[in-house]
Amino acid sequence: MKKEVSDLLRIAEKFATNGEAESVEPHGNGHINDTYLLTSHQPSGEPCRYILQRMNHEVFRDPAGLMENITGVTAFLQKKIAESGGDPARESLSVVPLREGGSYWKEEDGTFWRMYRFVEGADSFDLVERPEDFYESAVAFGHFQKLLEEYPAESLHETIPNFHNTVDRLKNFKKAVEADSMKRAGEVADEIKFVLDREEDCYVLCDMLASGEIPLRVTHNDTKLNNIMLDHKTRKGICVIDLDTVMPGSALYDYGDSIRFGANTGAEDEKDLSKISCDLELFALYTKGFIEGCGGSLTKKEIRLLPMGAKLMTLECGMRFLTDYLEGDHYFKIHRPEHNLDRCRTQFAMVKDMEDKWDQMQEIVEQYL
């Protein structure tokens, strides 16, 4: 739902910005929220920039709970960063409140809006241009875990319920196989068997969280490179952004999803599965950065389980693609008839390659105990 510039400026005026809003234009290439860059000028003449966003309330059904998560987490981060001598304005997102109080604005048309201060002197990147960028993202996401280790994770709202509940994902997958609403199950018997052969794996992290063997933590749940702001001068990761999916979970979710995507030698929808493998050099580089960023906050059990986190997040993603394919491609956007099936197969090829390299992955992790 696009807005006219005049409407965007009117909405922007609801927020406690410095100076008078001068311009607003589309920003970034996100697929969920509508994002705009707002520029205003302070009385001194200095420009001041902000991010204005329409929250997608069809994806995030509880905007109030979502913003409660974000305001709580960002306030906690800023306090920790300030205590350590950092710059909270650049090293954490800063929510701009409404002039009349509150963290978001609801329009008469039912849309929900929020605003952040723009992080100056830094950029995010969609693709890994060099291995050092992947390493810096690992350090930043690990540091995010470290800063929030004392935050009461159980107080967070689940903005997408059961997002990384692999047991629930397995249950939904089995329902899709049984219903076979699109009559596709017969053609993907090998892929269905691949999941069922690894059914026990789906319980590992869920059971350990439930028993307390691994701690419940604040997790980001969307640990792509483009959710890290890299400083223009140092090229170091300075700020974790896109906190919509911050929820309670396991640090292994964040680590594993990064490996799933960033250490894969092929594209997520590559048809030639011979191009798919887990790059052990990138795996080792990310592992080093993540553990360094966590700064001793991970338990020995969590460190030993890092390869399982990578394998399980990849298996879960493949299972989600296959479930969507069986149900008629209603969740993930597709650009060709068997797009979700191709995506599923790349994930399963990655899982199989991890299994083949399991001893090497564990050796890489063991050096950090």
**Nearby residues of 169 by Cβ (< 8 Å), 6 or more positions away:** 162, 202, 316, 319, 320, 323
Put the strands of the sheet holding 122-123 in their side by side order: 122-123, 228-231, 237-240
pLDDT tens digits along 41-88: 877 778 899 999 999 998 899 999 999 999 999 999 999 999 999 999
- pLDDT tens for 250-295 read 999 999 999 999 999 999 999 999 999 999 999 999 999 999 999 9
pLDDT at 128: 75
Cβ contact 309:256 at 8 Å: yes
Q: What pLDDT does 2 receive?
A: 66
Which residue(s) pair with 98 in the sheet?
Answer: 15
> Taking all residues of the chain, what is their mean pLDDT, rounded to a whole number?
95
At 1 the pLDDT is: 52
Q: What is residue 59's predicted lDDT score, i.e. its pLDDT?
A: 87
Give the confidence band of 95 by pLDDT, cuts at 50, 70, 90: very high
| Token pair for 273 | 């599965």
pLDDT band at 233, cuts 50/70/90? very high
Measured distance CA(91)–CA(241) in Å, rounded: 10
With beta carbons less than 8 A apart as the criterion, state whether 339 and 288 touch.
Answer: no
* Class for the domain spanning 5-118: alpha beta
Every domain of the chain and the residues it spans: 5-118, 131-366
Of the candidates 115, 139, 167, 176, which has an alpha carbon nearest to the alpha carbon of residue 340?
176
Q: Is the pLDDT assigned to residue 101 strictly greater than 70? A: yes
**In angstroms, rounded to a whole number, what is the distance separating the alpha carbons of residues 53 and 26?**
10
Closest by Cα among 224, 74, 249, 222 to 161: 249
Tell me the CATH class for 131-366.
alpha beta
Query: Degrees (nearest 5) of the Cα angle 226, 319, 211?
Result: 85
Per-residue pLDDT tens over the stretch 106-142: 999 999 999 999 999 999 987 777 899 999 999 999 9
